[in-house]
Structure 1
Amino acid sequence: MNFDPFNELGGGSALRYDDGQQDDYCLPVASHSPETERLDYIHDVYKYHAGNVPEEVANLLNDGTTRRILDVGCGTGKWALEMIADFPDIHITGVDLAHPPITVFPSNFSFEIHDVTKGQEYEDDTFDVVHVRDIHAGMPDYHAMLTECVRVLRPGGYLLIKEIEWVPKLLDGGDAEQRFPAICAILESFRDALSERSLDPLVGVNVESYIDSVEGVTDIQYSRHMVPMTPWSDDPVLKYTGQMTRLAMAILGGTIRVMLLDHGESDPDGRYAAGIEELKDISGQPIWYFGSVVARKEGELDVTEEEEEEAEEGAVEDEEASHEGWRRDEDT
C-alpha cells in the first residue's frame, strides 16, 4: 500500500490516501501538527482517568517474560513509548495508516503501516495484549475489527479498549444544547458526517454492547469515565484533564474541517469558533465521557518453552546480581 499521509486539502487538514483513494479515516494523520498535539492531550486525559493499563495487565507485563502487545491505531505512539518506559521487557507492535511522529524507535517497538479495516495481518494467538483506542472514526465494521483483535490474542490474553463519546453534557444534568448550543451543534454535525460514511459515531456510547457481541471473550469489565470539558474543577486531576480537553477542543475544529465541508457545512470555521467561545466560560461545567473495556480471551495463558527459558535466565541474573552485591558488602 502506498500512502501519501501529507496530502493537503482545504485549510491544511491532511487526509490519508491509499492508492489514490481516501481511506475511511478522514481525520488528519497523527504526525501532522497540530493533530499530534490534540491526540497527545487526549492521551493524557485517558491516562489520568483510567491508566495506561489496569493492574492485572501490569502484573502480567511484570512477570519476567517478553510479552507481546499489539497497539491498533497507535497514533502518535505516546501510549506505546510510555508503556515501554514502564515495562521494559515488553515488545510492542504499533499499526496505523501513517507513520507516527517518532524519529528513533526503541528496539522493542516496531511499527507497521496497515489498514486494520481489512483485517489483521497476524496469525492466531500471537499477542498477549491488544490495545485499541479511538479508531471508530475509520472503522465501518467495529464488531469485525474487535473479532480480529480477539483472533490474534493468545488464550488468556487481554483486550483493552477506550472510545470517546462525542456527546457533551452538563454535570448537573441540565440541557447542554441550551447552555452550549454552538459546540453541541457542531459536534452533532460531526456525528452526522460520520454516519454518512457508514461509521458509528456512538461507538463510545455503545462500546459495552460491541464487546458483549464478540465471541471468545470473558471477564469483561466496562467502565464509563466522566471528564470536564473545561478546567472548572478544584480537583487537581479534573482541573488538569479539563485543561487538556479544552486545548484538544481548540484543535478539533481544524481536525474535522474538511469532513464538515464535505457534509455540507457552509461555514465550519465560524460555527466552531462560536463553540470555542462558549468553552471559555468555565461556569457551565460541561463534561464528556469515554468508555473503557478490559476483557480476556477465553482460555488460559500458557507459558511457552521460550518464556520459561526467559524466566529462568532472569532469575539466574537476579540471583547473580544479588550475590555479587553481598560480596561487595562483605568486602567493605
Structure 2
Amino acid sequence: MTLNTLSTLLLVIATARITSAGISKRVTCPTGQTTANEACCVLFPILDDIQENLFDGGECGEEVHESLRLTFHDAIGFSPTKGGGGADGSIFYFADIETAFPANNGIDEIVHTQTSFINNHTTITAGDFIQFAGAVGVTNCPGAPRLEFLLGRPKATAASPPWLGTRASRHSYKHLGTVPRGQFLTRGGSGLASFVTGVPFDSTPGIFDTQFFIETQLRGIVFPGNGSNVGEAEAPLHGEMRLLSDSSLARDSRTACAWQSMAVGQANLQAKFKAAMSKMATIGNDRSKMVDCSDVIPVPKPVVGTPHLPAGKTMNDIEQACASAAFPSLTADPGPATSVPPVPPS
C-alpha cells in the first residue's frame, strides 16, 4: 500500500467516525435524560408528571382513551376557507365555544382534566400539550406504535368554526368526504378513542390490538339499555358499544377490504395508525418550523394476545363485507359468551 493510499484510507475512516459521532450526538438535559435536541428537554418534566398524575402511573385507562380522542377533536377543526387552526390548542383556549359543538359532545371532561396540567406547564403551548399527552398516553397500551411528536405549535388565536368535525352518528360516505382535508381514515387499535365514558368499542380496551376491527365485523345484537344519543348501533357483546359510522365503514364497498385487512394485521395497523397520527397532529402547522422530539416518547410494550373471536362467537357471526377476499379464519376464546366490563377510570 502506498503512502498516498494509506493517507486517503485513514482520512475516510476519520471522516466516517466524525460523521457517525455527529449523527448519534445526544444532549443531556437538566433532569438527566438525553435527547437529540436541547429544545426537547422541556418535555421530560411534563412526561413524568402526566404519566404519574394524569395516567395513574402509566395505565392504559380512561384518561388515555380520552386524551387520544382529544388530539383528534382539537386537530380536526381546520379549513383553508372557513378558518380554524387545526392542531393548535384552540379547544383549550376557547373551550367554552368549542366544547359546545355537537361533534365535541363529551369532550369537555378531558379538557377540564388537562387544564391544570396545561396551566402548570407553560413551557409549551396547549396545542403541543394535547398532542404530547396523546402520544405519551397511548404508549401505556401494549401493542401501540411509538408515535412521532413534533414540538412548536403556536398558540391558537381564534376558535375553530363549528361543523368542521365529524359526528359519531354520521354514515361512512360522510366520513369519507372529510378524508381529503385530514388525509387519514384509520381510527386506531382496540377502539382506544372511546366516545362514551367507560364504554369500550371492543373486548380488549386496554390493549392496542386488532380486536376492534374483528368485533365491528360481528353481527350486532340489540341489548337493553343501549341508547342512540351518540349514534351507536347494536353491539356484538354485552357491555360494548358500536358507532353507526364504524359499522358503516366496515361494510361500505369502498372501505370494507381495507377494514378487513386490519383484522389480523398488527404491524399494518401500527404503521397506518402512526402515519395517520403524524398527519393529524400537525394539521395547520408548518412541519419545517417544528422540532422533532419523538425520542422523548416512551417505547410501548409489545402486544398482548393474538387476534381471536370473543368467547361464544363463531365465524358464522362474521358479517362478510369485502368482496375480493374472505375474512381471516379465527378461533374463539374458550368459555361462556364474553361480557365486556367498563373501562376503569385512571
What's the TM-score once normalised by structure 2's chain length? 0.24
More strand by share: 1
TM-score (norm 1): 0.25
